[in-house]
A and B are shown apart, each in its own frame.
Chain A
């Protein structure tokens, strides 16, 4: 019984409570347009509680509060991810008002489910025990399955079914891996696993342990959409409602990397030689497959889907760079966290612009984006800046993100991986620039202006200002990232 520890879970509990309130409001209220503001206010509660916990951390030493017999921890690292996930969720909700009206019957469900998925992801970032991690992962995955199907057309349901089946398979394999690790070390708590691995030296040479680690990578690899678990990404992004795809690409990926960093650092820190090489190879393959296949895409959502696979590869370069350190926390982890913030602002910017444009021109084909710059200069500019940031050119957030990751790789003697990353950045410029070229240089199909509602424009402006701000003053985010990583061990 841990009633005294419950306050550590306050942000997650508040979010779950608000999700239930949104469901009830949907049942009672006649006015559906109140649901979005209600959800946004609902998100403010966990944000406020997370700030309270952050301030509390400042006053204690060491800066971490562990609860529920070590199943759950509140530290700067987990709070950092909670802010990131909540921020991404808020932007997605702001941008989805118009898309939500298409779910005619399921508006309250959309907001409630997206909040529950966020709750699961916040738990993922804070769980320090394998079974809790699994439960948190499933909470976010199952909510996402329902979210993907909300359009209720055949493509959306097919995407949802694919996601459900693949997510179930990867979870099963991951659970098998967790069982193997538990069998060998006798604990599911990350710190106990690390203790056993360092104190009992013959454990390290067990092939079953390596198998367990690889199986666990399967489950997390699915979440971050890394090769070879990327098959679902393009289909799901194409079939799902666009805001859901945006949400998946940013929040799900951030939570996935949070959990990978925690598990692989805290639990398998003594196995770095094995998994670092694995992540390096996965990173290289993800970058190549994502970027090369993206070139052939005609649908902008599919293109962004392959682009997200490629970016999972770029971020994994940071994971590989950790392993070669010898010491636990190096520039690699910091570069990952920085990349995730930059990627969140960038990719949300791109997706929100796509939500606005595609819903008005009723097409997701890149060719139909012709002349959008003349039909709405702001949307076209926002999309262009976001794509430039995805390419990794200054003065945007993407530039510093990639620079940090490649820097970490070079510092840890992974020059070949940094080179592959740079080659891939050049490849990616081709398909990102093609969209910009279509928007600005091709003649528009009609002169009719593309309009967007105010909350969406505000969300888009926040994302674009965010990515430009990080691009021009990267020091601010870098400081926060250093604080977050500082308390990890």
Chain B
């Protein structure tokens, strides 16, 4: 039992050593003069090979996005359930159909609720 934790210990040691050594090796090599140092503006960007950054990340954004995120999650989860259900429908038979019907009905109540309570209106 305790020996098993030993492996976790070795793993932790390795996991620490690798990143630390990756930082230390270039630093050590720079003394020998092997590591070149010629920075350019492109190299110093936040995402060197990614999208060009626009503005800062500390900006305000509309709180109402949260409603849409929530509704998205509802339907996302529905789809996640629908795929395996559709694959096995021939084995689940009528019971599966009824069960999924109830599940979708409950989600639809949530949707109707959001609609009637004007959560979808952008004003």
A27 and B95 contacting across the interface, CB-CB below 8 Å: no
B109 and A20 contacting across the interface, CB-CB below 8 Å: yes
Please pick, from A3, A23, A24, the residue contacting B95 in the complex, using a CB distance under 8 A. A3
A27 and B106 contacting across the interface, CB-CB below 8 Å: no
A27 and B92 contacting across the interface, CB-CB below 8 Å: no
In chain B, positions 93-123 with a C-beta closer than 8 Å to chain A are: 95, 106, 109, 112-113, 116-117
A1 within 8 A of B: yes
- For the complex formed, measure the closest distance between the CB of B119 and the CB atoms of chain A, giving whole angstroms: 12
Q: How far is the CA of A254 from the CA of B95 in the complex (A)?
A: 35
Interfacial chain A residues near B112, Cβ < 8 Å: 24, 27
B92 and A24 contacting across the interface, CB-CB below 8 Å: no
In chain B, positions 40-87 with a C-beta closer than 8 Å to chain A are: none
Q: How far is the CA of A23 from the CA of B109 in the complex (A)?
A: 8
In chain B, positions 6-23 with a C-beta closer than 8 Å to chain A are: none
* Size of the chain B interface, CB-CB below 8 angstroms: 8
Interfacial chain A residues near B113, Cβ < 8 Å: 23, 27
- In the complex formed, the residue of B with least CB distance to A3 is B95
Q: How far is the CA of A3 from the CA of B97 in the complex (A)?
A: 13
Interfacial chain B residues near A23, Cβ < 8 Å: 109, 113
Interface SS of B by simple majority:
helix
- For the complex formed, measure the closest distance between the CB of B113 and the CB atoms of chain A, giving whole angstroms: 6
- For the complex formed, measure the closest distance between the CB of A97 and the CB atoms of chain B, giving whole angstroms: 22
Report, as a range, how many residues of chain A touch the other chain: under 10
Q: How far is the CA of A163 from the CA of B31 in the complex (A)?
A: 57
Q: How far is the CA of A3 from the CA of B94 in the complex (A)?
A: 11
- For the complex formed, measure the closest distance between the CB of B4 and the CB atoms of chain A, giving whole angstroms: 12
In chain A, positions 1-57 with a C-beta closer than 8 Å to chain B are: 1, 3, 20, 23-24, 27
Interfacial chain B residues near A20, Cβ < 8 Å: 106, 109
- For the complex formed, measure the closest distance between the CB of B1 and the CB atoms of chain A, giving whole angstroms: 10
Most buried by A among B95, B106, B112, B113: B113
Interfacial chain B residues near A24, Cβ < 8 Å: 109, 112
- In the complex formed, the residue of A with least CB distance to B110 is A23
Q: How far is the CA of A27 from the CA of B108 in the complex (A)?
A: 13
- In the complex formed, the residue of B with least CB distance to A1 is B95
- For the complex formed, measure the closest distance between the CB of B57 and the CB atoms of chain A, giving whole angstroms: 25
Interfacial chain A residues near B95, Cβ < 8 Å: 1, 3
Q: How far is the CA of A23 from the CA of B107 in the complex (A)?
A: 13
Q: How far is the CA of A20 from the CA of B92 in the complex (A)?
A: 26
- For the complex formed, measure the closest distance between the CB of B118 and the CB atoms of chain A, giving whole angstroms: 11
Q: How far is the CA of A179 from the CA of B51 in the complex (A)?
A: 43
A-B contact pairs, 13 of them (CB 8 A): A1-B92, A1-B95, A3-B95, A20-B106, A20-B109, A23-B109, A23-B113, A24-B109, A24-B112, A27-B112, A27-B113, A27-B116, A27-B117
Which residues of A line the B interface, CB within 8 A?
1, 3, 20, 23-24, 27
Which 9 A-B residue pairs are closest in the complex by CB-CB distance? A27-B116, A3-B95, A20-B109, A23-B113, A23-B109, A27-B112, A24-B109, A27-B113, A1-B95
- Can you add 10 more A-B contacts, CB < 8 Å, to A23-B113, A24-B109, A27-B117? A1-B92, A1-B95, A3-B95, A20-B106, A20-B109, A23-B109, A24-B112, A27-B112, A27-B113, A27-B116
